[in-house]
């Protein structure tokens, strides 16, 4: 399902929107298979837990950041429908993917309960402004079914929290019981997408199932023109072979949302085109050569 303008209306009015069946079955299976290169299936974990002590001891090992080995997850992170939605939400084509991380949670492997919180503290040096290209868009894409027992994400509708102070960014149940009274659990099928804003109070809830895993993909988008916002500068991963491989096989637009210069950028000249082609020998340089030729003929 494409992300419609009604989803954008929901995001603006309620602070969140749910897009069911965003991914096809084939896309879900490919992404899940790609994710299993990093984490075990729940069956593998149950059969040989001694092989995966970090699942129980190191929660941060359950999260893996872009770029990913294999391109299924990379292509989901830069999905054209995600890009199109963010362009509409921010009112500009100049958008960047700021964060992309997969997360695995296993029943019986830890306490995943969180306090209600806002994510802006690690994504901007100031405070969020949810209009125009100042807006940042958070997304959670689910690769497995999220039932009430599988640690569903909880969100507080904006109409119930719009006048609530946004500092401090973490609120315990004891500190702010009124927020918890209005939270809603996001129950979703695999392939569903949750979109929410930087001013949307949310949290992970406890996993109460006896068996199973929840696989999810977390992304944040921002406008490209505001340097005081953003979680990652993707060039820091430029030496990774998986990053090089994705750059070579992605579309120009996918590269652009990672910070790669557009074909019309003044960066490109005969020297830079030749050198970039040497760095990425499998990348199609035709769009950049064509744009440079068109610019020279004007």
Domain residue ranges in the chain: 5-250, 261-298
Question: 3-class DSSP state for residue 188?
Answer: strand
State residue 57's pLDDT score.
87
Distances (CA, A) of 60 to 49, 57, 70, 262: 17, 9, 21, 34
Q: Where do we find the tokens 């359950």?
A: 62
Query: What is the total residue count of the chain?
Result: 298
Mean predicted confidence (pLDDT) in 6-23: 97
Mean predicted confidence (pLDDT) in 233-249: 95
CATH number of this structure's domain 5-250: 2.60.120.620
DSSP one-letter code for 261: P
State residue 298's pLDDT score.
73
Question: 3-class DSSP state for residue 97?
Answer: strand
Question: 3-class DSSP state for residue 85?
Answer: helix
Strand partners, 223: 95
pLDDT in tens, 82-135: 999 999 999 999 999 999 999 999 999 988 999 999 999 999 999 999 999 999
Rounded to two decimals, what is the model's pTM? 0.95
State residue 2's pLDDT score.
85
Question: Which residues does 222 contact at the CB level (< 8 Å), separation at least 6?
Answer: 95, 96, 98, 123, 136, 137, 229, 230
Q: Are 161 and 13 in contact (CB under 8 A)?
A: no
State residue 58's pLDDT score.
80
Answer yes or no: is pLDDT of 68 > 70: yes
Strand partners, 222: 96
Mean predicted confidence (pLDDT) in 21-34: 97
State residue 296's pLDDT score.
86
The mean of the pLDDT values for the chain is: 96
pLDDT in tens, 132-146: 999 999 999 999 999
Q: Are 104 and 27 in contact (CB under 8 A)?
A: no
Answer yes or no: is pLDDT of 59 > 80: no
DSSP one-letter code for 296: H
Answer yes or no: is pLDDT of 60 > 70: no
131 φ, ψ (degrees, to nearest 5): -150, 150
Strands of 213-223's sheet, edge to edge? 16-19, 193-197, 137-142, 213-223, 95-106, 63-65
pLDDT in tens, 180-222: 999 999 999 999 999 999 999 999 999 999 999 999 999 999 9
State residue 110's pLDDT score.
86
Answer yes or no: is pLDDT of 256 > 80: yes
């Amino acid at each position: 399902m494409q992300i419609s303008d009604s989803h954008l209306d929901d995001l603006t009015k309620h602070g969140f929107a749910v897009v069911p069946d965003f991914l096809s079955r084939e896309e879900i299976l490919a992404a899940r298979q790609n994710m299993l290169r990093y984490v075990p299936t729940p069956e593998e974990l149950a059969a040989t837990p001694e092989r995966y002590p970090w699942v129980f001891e190191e929660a941060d090992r359950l999260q893996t950041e872009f770029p990913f080995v294999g391109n299924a997850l990379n292509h989901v992170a830069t999905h054209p429908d995600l890009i199109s939605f963010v362009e509409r939400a921010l009112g500009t084509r100049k958008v960047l993917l700021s964060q992309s991380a997969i997360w695995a949670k296993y029943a019986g492997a830890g306490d995943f309960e969180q306090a209600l919180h806002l994510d802006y503290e690690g994504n901007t040096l100031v405070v969020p402004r949810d209009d125009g290209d100042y807006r940042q868009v958070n997304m959670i894409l689910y690769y497995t079914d999220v039932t009430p027992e599988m640690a569903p994400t909880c969100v507080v509708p904006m109409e119930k929290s719009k006048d609530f102070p946004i500092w401090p960014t973490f609120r315990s149940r004891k500190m702010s019981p009124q927020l918890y009274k209005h939270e809603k659990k996001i129950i979703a099928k695999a392939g569903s997408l949750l979109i929410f804003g930087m001013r949307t109070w949310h949290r992970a809830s406890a996993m109460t199932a006896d068996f199973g895993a929840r696989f999810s993909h977390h992304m944040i988008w921002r406008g490209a023109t505001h340097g005081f916002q953003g979680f990652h500068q993707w060039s820091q991963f430029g030496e990774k072979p998986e990053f090089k491989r994705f750059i070579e096989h992605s579309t120009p637009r996918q590269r652009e949302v990672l910070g790669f210069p557009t074909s019309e950028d003044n960066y490109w000249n005969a020297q830079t085109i030749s050198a970039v082609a040497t760095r990425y020998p499998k990348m199609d340089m035709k769009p950049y050569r064509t744009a440079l030729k068109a610019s020279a003929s004007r």
